[in-house]
Amino acid sequence: MTRTMFTGAYTAIVTPFTRAGKVDEPRLRDLVEFQIANGISGLVPVGTTGESPTLDHHEHNHVIELVVEFAAKRCKVIAGTGSNSTDEAIAMTRHAKEVGADASLQVAPYYNKPTQAGLYAHFRAIAEASELPMILYNIPGRCGVDIANDTMARLRRDLPSLVVGLKEATGNVDRVSQMRQLVDKEFSILSGDDSLTLPMMAVGAVGVISVASNIVPGEVSRMVAAALRGDFVTAGQIHATLFPLFKDLFIETNPIPIKAALAMAGKIEETYRLPLVPMAENNKAQLRKTLTALGLVK
């Protein structure tokens, strides 16, 4: 395999809350230890799965600080510091660098729907102001805007030491093939969809930023490691086993199902902040059935 800065399985880690709705720091520490003990390559705090939209700025920064502290250099930390305000993203990314994050995850600006020229200027400004390696996050289903492959490739060419990777969450495997033709081999393309990790790796991705690995970090890590060494038979077997879980974790809006799953496994309280609410009972029953079949709950 080619040498890239970020390869392997990275967990988009949830932000656990207490029953009173505060960030549950002891449970967060436990989750980090669980991830590292099961061989995860890195952690991604306060992305979508970490409920970043409902954390205030102090909480957002503090969760990143905590994950960096708890990880203690035993795995990489990619801090979610994206925003639809460039100045806000710069401030959060500078903070992430100061506290020791290895990189930032920069989602496309949401709601204000910039042009491709605006996207380029936004990401370039963050990279140059923070000097922290950046992984672009393309998820038009949530943001309402698609970062064009040409825009990403231009950023990579112009800022090769800072724009180091892509989390591809369009649901389109062809985008990986197309992007691979536009960028150098050391640019890290990571799947943003658990169920598409294996097909994306078959055409050039080098890992995943995973939701499922919150509860099955060892299995996701082994699947990705097998694919990286070219053992797609083993990787395919793990994928087939985990596929029902991959799908059920998106039976409702992420991160509702994964937090429900972790609560069923006794790892966190099942607490959300509005506008997120607990799962519908029929969906929760389906998720429990899948978790039970995998031996994750009794």
**Known catalytic residues?**
137, 167
For residues 55 and 46, give the distance between their C-alpha atoms in angstroms, rounded to a whole number.
9
Residue from 262, 257, 253, 297 nearest 53 by CA: 253
For residues 298 and 268, give the distance between their C-alpha atoms in angstroms, rounded to a whole number.
16
Structure tokens at 133: 């390696």
Q: Dihedral through CA 282, CA 287, CA 292, CA 297, nearest 10?
A: -100
**Residue 195: which residues within 8 A CB-CB, separation 6 or more?**
243, 246, 247
Determine whether 88 is exposed, middle or buried from the number of CB atoms within 10 Å of its CB (0-12, 13-18, 19+): middle
**Residue 276: which residues within 8 A CB-CB, separation 6 or more?**
51, 54, 253, 255, 256
For residues 219 and 274, give the distance between their C-alpha atoms in angstroms, rounded to a whole number.
32
The label of the residue with tokens 């943001």 reads: 143
Report the SS3 class of residue 133.
coil
